Each structure stands twice: as C-alpha cells, then as structure tokens.
C-alpha cells in the first residue's frame, strides 16, 4: 500500500532574504499608518503654502541624508556578550537596516532601509509643522533679525543637538550578569572618570570581554575573569566621538582603569 504524499501549506508569502531582516508585520502596519499621517500633513501644508512640494522634497531629502548617515554613525559591531557565539553587528538608527559580520562585510535590507527612511521623513515633516505653528504664534515675520536667529537656534537646532540626552543609542542586548557588569562600567565612566557631561552626552555598550587576572597564585582566584567593557560615547547631534574601555575587578563592581580609544577597529586590537 503506497502512502500518499502529504502537502504542507505554510506561509503563502515570504519576503526575499535580501529584503527584510529586522522588521516584522507590525512594523509594516505602523509604517502604513505613518504614510497616511504623512499624506495628511502634506495636505495641511498645501493649505498653508503654495510651496508645499518644496517642503515635501526638502524633508524627504533630509530624511534620506540622515538615513544614509546613520549607516556610518550608528554602529553596533559584532559582539560576544549576550550571545552563545559571536553575534553579527547592525547598522542604522533609529531602526537598524543592515548587518555586519566579523570580516567587516555588510548586508543591507531594502525594506528595513525604507522603513527607517519613512520614520525619519515623518520626523522632519512633523518638525516643519511644529516650527510653522510656533512661528505663527510668535508672529515671526514681524520680529527683528536677532529674534529670528534666536528662535531658529532654540526651536530648530537645539532639540536636534540634545537628542542624545533623551534617546538611547543602539547597543547590544544584555541579560543577567552581563547587564550588571555593563551598568557598573557605565556608572564608573560617568561618575568615577567623569566621561559624560557637557561634551559626551550618552554611552552605549559595544561588547564585554573577560580575561584572567594576572596575580600570584598564592592569593587565589587567578582564573576568575575580570571584565573589560567597551563603551561608545556620543556627543551633540548624536555624533560618535570616542570609545572608552573600562576594566573591572574580579567581582565586576570596582573599576580598575579606563582607556580612551578611537572609533576605528575594535576595542580589543
């Protein structure tokens, strides 16, 4: 007696491997709602100005500029912390859209790239609406040139410059003891070594390495690991500025030293 083949029908549609990696169907649904909101904002601009198409093109161009810039500025390198093996890194912000492996090879995903572009475009388009409402509220067209310059710096420039103060940069996902060690290292960088302040606004964890302590065996605990935490510092306008390598003792509580490193390569080279 021959057995009939069993046909298993799974998903009727699947994205190509090179199109989508980070986002899910919920992200696509929110992107659809965002596009509807963008159309409504453009309709509002069309009622306010005959040059609404200039607003559309300008905000889209700025969104594309920030999207491409995030590919180079917001880098989460391949890491071992929080992974059973080496995890690939990711590029892009606020939504990642590319991966990077240990060899430095990157892979960009089109749908993720377009989703991040949509989000950045909506941020710029919404900002223009806010700026227009505030300028009308203070009757900017009747104000002096000095007041206009001050208004531009406070309303249009300063909020973007202070973004690191309010939003976390991309970093690796940590749990359990790795999370505890990263918190202690960040606290040591901020309080003990005064890294953050007027210039460096935010620190992101890039990776954690463990190495044995170099102490005489009579003291014991020579094989217990000590943690080295690599942090990336961001300054105004979310520009990455420098890396900081914090070395903790065997308990992962007390900071032993800190090194300032460049952005090229890795912290372990």
Of the pLDDT bands very low, low, confident and very high (cuts 50, 70, 90), residue 76 is very high
What is the Cα–Cα distance from 108 to 133, expressed in whole angstroms? 38
Residue percentage of the chain with pLDDT more than 90: 64
* 49, 144: one domain: yes
Is the predicted pLDDT of residue 223 greater than 60, yes or no?
no
- Write out pLDDT tens, residues 128-147: 999 999 999 989 888 999 99
Q: Where are the beta strands (DSSP E) in the chain?
A: 75-76, 89-91, 98-100, 106-108, 202-212, 225-234, 240-248, 255-261
Q: What is the dihedral of CA 194, 195, 196, 202, to 10 degrees?
A: -150
Report the pLDDT value the prediction gives residue 251, as an integer from 0 to 100.
84
What is the Cα–Cα distance from 88 to 104, expressed in whole angstroms? 10
What is the Cα–Cα distance from 205 to 218, expressed in whole angstroms? 34
**Residue 13 placed within a domain:** no
* 32, 121: one domain: yes
Q: Quote the tokens at residue 79.
A: 């890491």
* 88, 132: one domain: yes
CB 42 within 8 A of CB 52: yes
**Residue 11 placed within a domain:** no
Is the predicted pLDDT of residue 8 greater than 60, yes or no?
no
Report the pLDDT value the prediction gives residue 6, as an integer from 0 to 100.
32
What is the Cα–Cα distance from 117 to 64, expressed in whole angstroms? 6
CA geometry: angle 172, 173, 178, nearest 5 deg:
95
Q: Where does a domain end: 161, 185, 218?
A: 161
Residues 6 or more apart whose Cβ sits within 8 Å of residue 59: 121, 124, 125, 128
> Among candidates 204, 201, 193, which has minimal Cα distance to 248?
193
The residue with tokens 């009747």 is 142
Highest mean pLDDT among 8-12, 23-27, 36-40: 36-40
Q: Quote the tokens at residue 250.
A: 């065997």
**Mean predicted confidence (pLDDT) in 60-79:** 94
What is the Cα–Cα distance from 206 to 201, expressed in whole angstroms? 16
> Among candidates 123, 211, 207, which has minimal Cα distance to 167?
123
Domain around 194: 176-261
> Among candidates 219, 214, 245, 221, which has minimal Cα distance to 232?
245
Reduced to 3 states (helix: H, G, I; strand: E, B; else coil), residue 95 is: coil
* Mean pLDDT, rounded, of the chain: 86
Is the predicted pLDDT of residue 11 greater than 90, yes or no?
no
Q: How many domains does the chain have?
A: 2
Reduced to 3 states (helix: H, G, I; strand: E, B; else coil), residue 118 is: helix
Is the predicted pLDDT of residue 7 greater than 50, yes or no?
no
**Residue 152 placed within a domain:** yes
Q: Where are the alpha helices (DSSP H) in 74-175?
A: 110-137, 145-152, 158-161, 163-166
Q: Where does a domain end: 131, 161, 191?
A: 161
* 189, 229: one domain: yes
CB 21 within 8 A of CB 99: yes
- Write out pLDDT tens, residues 77-93: 998 888 877 889 999 99
Q: Around 214, how many Cα atoms within 13 Å sit in the side-chain half-sphere?
A: 0
Q: Where does a domain end: 129, 161, 193?
A: 161
Residues in the chain: 269
- Write out pLDDT tens, residues 151-194: 999 999 999 999 999 999 999 999 888 999 999 999 999 999 99
**Residue 166 placed within a domain:** no
């Amino acid at each position: 007696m021959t057995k009939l083949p069993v046909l298993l029908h799974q998903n009727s549609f699947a994205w190509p491997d090179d199109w989508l990696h980070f986002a899910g169907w919920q992200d696509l649904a929110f992107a659809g709602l965002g596009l509807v909101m963008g159309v409504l904002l453009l309709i509002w601009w069309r009622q306010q100005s005959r040059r609404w198409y200039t607003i559309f093109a300008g905000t889209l161009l700025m969104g594309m500029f920030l999207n491409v810039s995030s590919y180079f500025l917001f880098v989460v390198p391949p890491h071992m912390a929080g992974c059973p093996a080496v995890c690939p890194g990711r590029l892009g912000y606020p939504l990642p859209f590319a991966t990077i492996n240990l060899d430095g090879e990157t892979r960009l995903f089109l749908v993720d790239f377009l989703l991040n572009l949509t989000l950045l475009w909506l941020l710029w388009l919404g900002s223009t609406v806010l700026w227009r409402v505030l300028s009308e509220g203070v009757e900017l067209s009747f104000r002096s040139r000095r007041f206009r310059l001050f208004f531009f710096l406070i309303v249009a420039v300063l909020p973007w410059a202070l973004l690191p103060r309010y939003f976390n940069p991309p970093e690796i996902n940590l749990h359990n003891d790795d999370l505890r060690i990263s918190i202690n290292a960040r606290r040591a960088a901020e309080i003990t070594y005064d890294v953050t302040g007027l210039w460096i606004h935010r620190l992101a964890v890039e990776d954690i390495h463990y190495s044995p302590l170099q102490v005489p065996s009579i003291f014991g605990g020579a094989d217990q690991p000590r943690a080295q935490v690599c942090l990336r510092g961001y300054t105004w306008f979310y520009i990455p500025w420098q890396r900081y390598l914090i070395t903790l003792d065997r308990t992962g509580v007390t900071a032993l030293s800190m090194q300032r490193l460049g952005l090229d390569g890795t912290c372990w080279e």
